[in-house]
Structure 1
Amino acid sequence: MEEENLIVLTDEEGNEHEFEVLDILEIDNSEYAILLPLEDNDEEEAIILRIDIDENGEEILYEIEDDDEWEMVAETWQKVVTAGKNGEAF
């Protein structure tokens, strides 16, 4: 795992959490980060966050609160993973 694929996020309580960036998807002019927690976790479930730009031009990651938007990104990610396993281009 390359270090450039790692990101550390701080939660609301100030705790730092390390993630591997699995992919960045661009869908309908929005970008989404697919992250995998690196902490000891029995579930290896990826986290999907929307990437936006703040007033200073910095990238900010936001939780997706809209269920339809989350489903759209999750389905697209699943297609990417499936295509990759089958050796297909997506």
Structure 2
Amino acid sequence: MEEMDNVVVLKDENGVETEFEIITDLEVDGNVYYILYPLDDEESEEAVAMKVDVDEEGNEILSEIEDDEEFEKVASAYEKWLETADEEEFEDEE
């Protein structure tokens, strides 16, 4: 994982690199997750959730969320974050 400010570059299993913007980080059940949006695909409005892990060398790495229950908890936390962000944006406009 290569990181620049709020942008990360991830490689898929075929070695193809994609840039993602980190929208927010969420803490769920003591774990940290990043919510990412792809920068290369402007038509996509779908966020990607990745778990922040630490490798043997102490480096931060991003892992896919493989457990359905864990994913649902993160998705729920993200929906709550979106609602709060929308409310704050509305208040700022007044």
* Normalised TM-score (structure 2): 0.84
Cα distance in 1, alignment partners of residues 5 and 66 from structure 2: 28
Alignment of 1:16-31 (within 5 A): 16-31=17-32
Cα distance in 2, alignment partners of residues 40 and 52 from structure 1: 26
Cα distance in 2, alignment partners of residues 40 and 29 from structure 1: 31
* Normalised TM-score (structure 1): 0.88
Aligned-CA RMSD value: 1.5
The answer (yes or no) to whether the contact 2:38–2:44 under 8 Å persists in 1 is: no
Alignment partner, residue 43 of structure 2: 42
Q: CA deviation at 1:41?
A: 4.7
Unaligned runs of 5+ in 1: none
Alignment partner, residue 57 of structure 1: 58
The answer (yes or no) to whether the contact 2:31–2:52 under 8 Å persists in 1 is: yes
Cα distance in 1, alignment partners of residues 52 and 75 from structure 2: 15
1:5 and 2:6 matched: yes
Percentage of identical aligned residues: 47
Cα distance in 2, alignment partners of residues 13 and 29 from structure 1: 32
Cα distance in 2, alignment partners of residues 41 and 81 from structure 1: 19
